[in-house]
Structure formats: C-alpha cells, structure tokens
Amino acid sequence: MAAISLQTATMAEEVKLFGTWASPFSRRIEVALKLKGVQFEYIEENLSNKSPALLEYNPVHKKIPVLVHNGKPVAESLVILEYIDETWKHNPILPTDPYEKAIARFWAKYIDDKLWPAATKVLVSKGEEQKGVTEEIQEQLKTLESELKGKKFFGGESLGFVDIAANIIVFLLVAQEALGLMEILTEEQFPVLHEWYQRLVDDAVFKECVPPRERHLGFFKVRFGSSTASK
C-alpha cells in the first residue's frame, strides 16, 4: 500500500504527486511545488508493485512522477514543471522572455537526453566500457560548465527550471561516492559546477527535497554495488 504524507503550503486545490524517494524526477516536482508554496499530497510508489492509481493516471508510460491536479493527471517531469509554472504563476521558475524560455527548455532537454542516459549506463558498466561512458559524461559536463560560467544558477541569480532539471548531477555525485566510480565530477575538473552544486544544496527548499545522505548512499550501494564491482 502506498505511503502518504501531507506537505504544507496554500489551501484550496487538490494536488497529488505520485513518486518515489530515490528518483531525481520525483524530486524535481517536489522542489517546484515547494518553491511555489503549493500544498500537495505525496504518494510514495513501490515501482516493483505499482499502485492501481498510478497505472490509471499514467496508462501510457506507467511511470512516476505523475502530478494530479483536481483529478487531472500530468506525466513526465519536464512537462509537469512547465504545467506547475503556468498554473501557479507566482515565484516563476521559467523566464518570461520567449527566447530565454526556449534556451531553458533546450538545456533541460539536453540534460535528460544526453546526461541522464550516460549517467544510468555508467552505474551498470565495468572496465573499459565504464571508462568510455565516464569520458562521455565528462564531455557533457564540460558543456554544462561552459554554459554556467559567470552565473550563480543556470537561469541567472535564482534557482530555476534548468537547475531543477540538473538535480541529476546531485544524484550522480552521490553515486560516484557510494560506488567508488572513477572520478566523474571532481572539483578540480569542474570548479564552476561544484560551486553551483554547493549553492543548490544550500538552498532551503532544495535541501528539504534531497534524500537523506546516508539513505541515498545506501540505496546506490544496494542497488548497483554488485554491478559496478570489479571482476
């Protein structure tokens, strides 16, 4: 049975989030809702035994996260983030300028289409394959480092759409520590990203939505430890 907890904020509308604690995609939605001060009911899913409600609300992909707003479901994390920003317009996470908004969408898509697949692949690879994937990730991180130079956050002075999408980097750093992977993202190689990371995890709202460190480390060790162990 799904575990349920109630988050604090404004009243009036029915908002539910179906997710799982270890997923960066679920955490994206939690960050956005809390930045907006939206009250929501969080429903923790067991992905090995998905609830009938999740399957009903996302019959196409059958995945988390799913946001249900007044009975209407919205799936896919980047789509949900845009829905949240358009529905609750205070504390915007996307720029209002059309060009700047397009650029933000571009970088969020880059993170999901390029960085995330490589990050998941490195968790289950070994030896030379893992070395090759690590180099691929580092090239992508160099691109992000270049985009971030001279800015506090990807969108400028405050946490926004691309920063929320880039929470994948936080998960990558935890995986790197937990699994003893090659040094994918070091402070020496990526000083700008490391400074950004520190600002991100120091943000009060973001900090509230990051999984407890020891639990997170344990998750990666249990789930991927044997996959990345040397032969």
Q: Kindly indicate the confidence band of residue 32, based on its pLDDT and cuts at 50, 70 and 90.
A: very high
pLDDT-above-70 percentage for the chain = 91
Question: In this structure, what token pair is assigned to residue 26?
Answer: 């679920």
How far is CA 154 from its chain centroid? 15
Backbone angles phi, psi at 37, to 5 degrees: 70, 30
Global pTM reads 0.89
pLDDT band at 8 (very low <50, low <70, confident <90, very high): very low
CB 64 within 8 A of CB 19: yes
- Pair of tokens at residue 118: 């490589």
CB-based contacts of 45: which residues, under 8 Å, 6+ apart?
2, 18, 19, 20, 51, 54, 64
pLDDT of residue 173: 86
In this prediction, residue 225 has a pLDDT band, given cuts at 50, 70 and 90, of low
Residue 110 φ then ψ, to 5°: -60, -45
Region 71-92: what's the mean pLDDT? 97
- Residue 180: pLDDT above 80? no
**Residue whose pair of structure tokens reads 């908002």 in the numeric block:** 15
